[in-house]
Homo-oligomer: A and B are copies of this chain.
Amino acid sequence: MTALPRRATVAQRLARLGLTLPTAAVPVGAYVPALRTGVHVWTSGQLPFVAGRLPQTGTVGRDVTADEAAQAARTAALNAVAAVAQVLAAESGDAPVEALDRVVRVVKVTGFVASDPGFTAQPAVLDAASTLLHEVFGDAGVHVRSAVGVAVLPLGSPVEVELVVETR
């Protein structure tokens, strides 16, 4: 791969990763995918939908492997980025992927992992989300994070990821 310019755009970074920004997932209830308050955009908890469906359901450490859960966390994080992009694009009229250049930092990632009681590698699962955010936003992708193992998630999803980001 050719080197990215030091100040690469999000579009350049996504292209290099071979990723396409999905459209924001339709909420599974009476809420919105993301919204602005002050300089921050907050997202709803995002599930690892691919084209509107969950590729896999179940509990990590029993029905779902750690590697599969990591891939799901990466997908959920990309969906959260799409939700942010939708808000920013609506504000500016830019294309969603271009609007993402207004993110100055990812503030917080909260990741819930539907976990078998014996599964304690939630950080490894969420690292896939964190890495995606670093890849997409570069230095602006640095964030704080909480990773938690829960009993069960909506629709049987193995993971759920929410974001708070700061924008210019």
Residues of A within 8 A of B (CB): 27-35, 37-40, 42-45, 57, 59, 105, 107-110, 112, 114-124, 126-127, 130-131, 134, 142-156, 160, 162, 164, 166
CB of B145 within 8 A of CB of A29, answer: yes
With A and B bound together, what is the CA distance between A124 and B157 in angstroms? 15
For this complex, 25 residue pairs linking A to B, each with C-beta atoms less than 8 Å apart, are A28-B123, A29-B124, A29-B145, A30-B127, A31-B130, A32-B142, A32-B144, A34-B144, A35-B105, A35-B107, A37-B40, A37-B164, A38-B166, A44-B145, A110-B146, A112-B146, A120-B153, A120-B154, A121-B154, A122-B154, A146-B162, A147-B154, A148-B150, A149-B151, A151-B151
User: At the interface, is chain A mostly helix, strand, loop or mixed?
Assistant: mixed
Q: Are the CB atoms of B146 and A160 closer together than 8 Å?
A: yes
Contact of A130 with B29 in the complex, beta carbons under 8 Å: yes
Residues of B within 8 A of A108 (CB): 42
Which B residues lie within 8 Å of A154 (CB)? 120-123, 147, 149
CA distance A44 to B34 in the complex (A): 21
Given contacts A43-B144, A151-B151, 9 further A-B contacts (CB under 8 A): A29-B130, A33-B144, A42-B164, A45-B145, A45-B146, A119-B152, A146-B160, A146-B162, A150-B150
By beta carbon, the residue of chain B nearest A44 is B144
Nearest chain B residue, comparing its CB with the CB of A28: B123
A112 to B153, CA, bound (A): 10
Which residues of chain B are within 8 angstroms of A57 by Cβ–Cβ distance?
120
Among A31, A121, A126, chain B packs the most CB atoms within 10 A around the CB of A31
Chain B neighbourhood of A105, CB < 8 A = 35, 37
